């Protein structure tokens, strides 16, 4: 269950943010897929959580958008995490027009529970 936080500069167009909101759940799910958490292409409520936050007046960033992905640690997911994040960056670049953006993938030891 990936958690995605998108931090963006005030000048990023709303259309770009909406495109990210539409595309990121699938792209991230593909990027973090592993035997312990396979992705069948059919996202259900709670499978991916995404939040958007505009940079505030005291925030500092040299990028238009920073996409932070947190997904539960599994060895099968962790051993190639740089390849996963590089691929995710490339896939995002293919579908969204952004000049300067970064993707950060974190794989913490974690647990998740939700109502059915």
For residue 57, the tally of other CB atoms under 10 A from its CB is 5
- Is 32 within a domain? yes
Whether 113 has a pLDDT exceeding 90, the answer reads: no
Predicted pLDDT at 1 = 72
Domain range enclosing 30 = 3-106
Rounded to the nearest 5°, which phi and psi values hold at 17?
-65, -40
Length of the chain: 116
Is 113 or 30 the better-scoring residue by pLDDT? 30
CATH number at residue 57: 3.30.429.10
- Is 77 within a domain? yes
Whether pTM exceeds 0.85: yes
Query: What are the tens digits of pLDDT across the range 64-90?
Result: 999 999 999 999 999 999 999 999 999
Counting the structural domains of the chain, the total is 1
- Is 113 within a domain? no
Predicted pLDDT at 55 = 96
- Partners of 103 in the β-ladder: 67
């Amino acid at each position: 269950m990936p958690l995605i936080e998108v931090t963006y500069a005030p000048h990023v167009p709303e259309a770009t943010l909406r495109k990210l909101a539409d595309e990121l759940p699938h792209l991230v799910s593909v990027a973090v897929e592993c035997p312990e958490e396979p992705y069948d292409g059919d996202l259900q409520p709670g499978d991916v959580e995404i939040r958007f936050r505009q940079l505030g007046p005291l925030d500092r960033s040299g990028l238009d958008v920073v996409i932070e992905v947190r997904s539960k640690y599994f060895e099968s997911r962790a051993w190639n995490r740089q390849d996963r994040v590089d691929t995710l960056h490339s896939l995002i670049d293919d579908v969204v027009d952004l000049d300067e953006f970064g993707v950060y993938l974190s794989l913490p030891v974690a647990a998740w529970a939700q109502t059915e």
